[in-house]
Amino acid sequence: MVDFLVENGGNIMGAVAVAIAVFLSGMGSAKGTGMTGEAAAGLTVEEPQKFGKALVLQLLPGTQGLYGFVIGFMILGKLGGGLNFQEGLYYIFAALPIGVVGYFSAVAQAKVAVSGMNILAKNEDNFVQGIVYAVMVELYAILGFVISLLLVNNI
């Protein structure tokens, strides 16, 4: 057992890193798109013609899951022979920015997007303002993605 861990510790840590990047950001996006989907469903029952605009707001919290998937896929591509334990541990730390920031920014973005649904429901002419508010939260997901990307590329 000890020999297995010594020989494969880097790959095991790398697999944990993939899971962190994909699971955390994906969970945040799933929660976020679910929250906004509930608001969109309520809106489109009353005003079905607003479906397309509501869908735009619902999709915004889903981007964090995509960022996490890209980082996880990049780490997965680097797993294999010769990866030592320290490198595997470094991948875990490289996955943390997009995993953690991705989760929390997706949930925060969903809350703002739900408020954007309220703008869409009450004053469709100001719909773009709701998108702008939600996109502002995206900046932090992008920053987490860029840091993770730089860390993965420097291993």
Which region among 9-13, 101-105, 131-135 has the lowest average model confidence (pLDDT)?
A: 9-13
Q: State pTM to two decimals.
A: 0.90
Cα(first)–Cα(last) distance of the chain, in Å? 27
51 CA to centre of own chain: 24
Which residue, chain included where needed, has tokens 């880097």? Answer: 10
- % residues pLDDT > 90 (the chain): 88
The token pair that represents 11 in the structure block: 């790959």
Q: Which of 109, 22, 97 is nearest to 66 (CA)?
A: 22
Residues 23, 92, 72: CA angle, nearest 5 degrees: 45
pLDDT tens per residue across span 48-57: 999 999 999 9
Confidence of residue 4 (pLDDT cuts 50, 70, 90): low
Residue type, 151: L
Confidence of residue 7 (pLDDT cuts 50, 70, 90): low
pLDDT tens per residue across span 72-130: 999 999 998 778 889 999 999 999 999 999 999 999 999 999 999 999 999 999 999 99
